[in-house]
Structure 1
């Protein structure tokens, strides 16, 4: 199965656009498996997002331009940006704030809300320093459910990224097991899938039991979400949970 998600399904009138990927395939769940919500912020100018709560969300901050100063209830104060990513595992209760310096360079990226494997886990904050900003023409595994990555989700979820240069092609990465659901998101650029499905910036593709070939029409920055829809997941998180 291949199901395209157009940009028109994004919600939000301000600088943060919100994608509930489940809305295109379900009348009962706004997420897909453990993939609860994807925010795509584009923030120009200095902005403060004051201290606010998260409950039972696992939020990966994947910024590609700009920086944000993070402060939280676990005592962490850190500046995150394009080469320093952050995973917040909110658990039972967690508060944080962000001060964005979007004056010299706008902040753009993704805030990815993943559903935990079970509710009320212990809060945890993890940072990841990338050696390179992009992984060119090769899928890079950023997060997984196990110790092969610094970022570890509590659910059966994997996250990859790749920069595919114009006219170059790629297939999907080797997946950790069978019967998984994939969501291919175009963060920047334009690609063609199997020669007949075009995807531009902020468009995505749900992939189930399909082999695909990806060709970059323009230089493209891609993010690949992988989830096991049959695995245990808590769907009552404050932001990642089902919003129906």
Structure 2
């Protein structure tokens, strides 16, 4: 087993007034050559957007982009004609492919919106751009991981052009679960959304990231009530 630990307070930080963003991996003005990616996982941003503010229209190409809202309402508009709102309990995915232009704004003027923005390198370039969003309310399970993303359109959750699987876990203190790697050679990046957990002997706290490679499974124990995102991805190099 090989591991990499990214404590919450070591992340990149940007304060744009309307946007507070913490970057697990190099992004925009934050650059650390040792923190460019974890395999196919390229971006993991923890964003907080002020009321009525947001990201104006901007392009993406050849990237799988996943948004997981934590609080508030985020309005999305794109060049494919989609106008939607995502909120806590939803998962949004875009395959940028040959090119897409979109904007994201806090729909509410009186409260913040908080969400994770995640980028994954695709295994196919120049695909037709695609947008989807789902509610995960009916997928949730207590004290065990449940799938929210996979490579297969027929599987549970959203899908992307990559051999990647994302799972969420909502745990009560003292509970334990084991996750088994879906594809040999893949690694898993665990991100603690809330609470304190121990994964394969490593104690982790809120917003810590922990990457594991050369494993077949991992075991998580909740040291408090906790929520964890597991991102299994191929260990590619860019």
* TM-score of Structure 1 vs Structure 2, range by shorter chain: 0.7 to 0.9
Partner of residue 89 from structure 1, selected from 92, 95, 109: 95
1:13 and 2:14 are equivalent in the alignment: yes
Partner of residue 214 from structure 2, selected from 204, 209, 214: 209
- The range that moved more, 213-222 or 52-61, is 213-222
* Cα displacement (A) at 1:117: 0.8
Runs of 4+ in 1 over 6 A off after TM superposition: none
1:190 and 2:196 are equivalent in the alignment: yes
Partner of residue 72 from structure 1, selected from 73, 78, 87: 78
Aligned residues: 226
Would the aligned equivalents of 1:82 and 1:133 in 2 still touch at CA under 8 Å? no
Q: Which sections of structure 1, spanning at least 5 residues, go unmatched?
A: 236-244
Compared with structure 1, are the counterparts of its residues 96 and 41 closer, same or farther at alpha carbon in structure 2 (3 Å cutoff)? same
Compared with structure 1, are the counterparts of its residues 184 and 29 closer, same or farther at alpha carbon in structure 2 (3 Å cutoff)? closer
Instruction: Name the structure 2 match of 1:49.
Output: 55
Compared with structure 1, are the counterparts of its residues 106 and 177 closer, same or farther at alpha carbon in structure 2 (3 Å cutoff)? same
Q: Which sections of structure 2, spanning at least 5 residues, go unmatched?
A: 27-31
TM-score by length of 2: 0.85
TM-score by length of 1: 0.84
1:176 and 2:166 are equivalent in the alignment: no
Instruction: Name the structure 2 match of 1:242.
Output: none
1:1-244 equivalences under 5 Å are: 1-14=2-15, 15-20=20-25, 30-101=36-107, 103=109, 105-132=111-138, 134-146=140-152, 147-172=154-179, 174-194=180-200, 196-210=201-215, 211-229=217-235, 235=238
Compared with structure 1, are the counterparts of its residues 86 and 120 closer, same or farther at alpha carbon in structure 2 (3 Å cutoff)? same
Would the aligned equivalents of 1:62 and 1:82 in 2 still touch at CA under 8 Å? yes
Compared with structure 1, are the counterparts of its residues 106 and 168 closer, same or farther at alpha carbon in structure 2 (3 Å cutoff)? farther
What is the RMSD computed on CA atoms of the aligned residues? 2.3
Task: Give me the whole-angstrom Cα distance separating, in 2, the residues matched to 1:125 and 1:222.
Answer: 25
* Cα displacement (A) at 1:208: 1.8
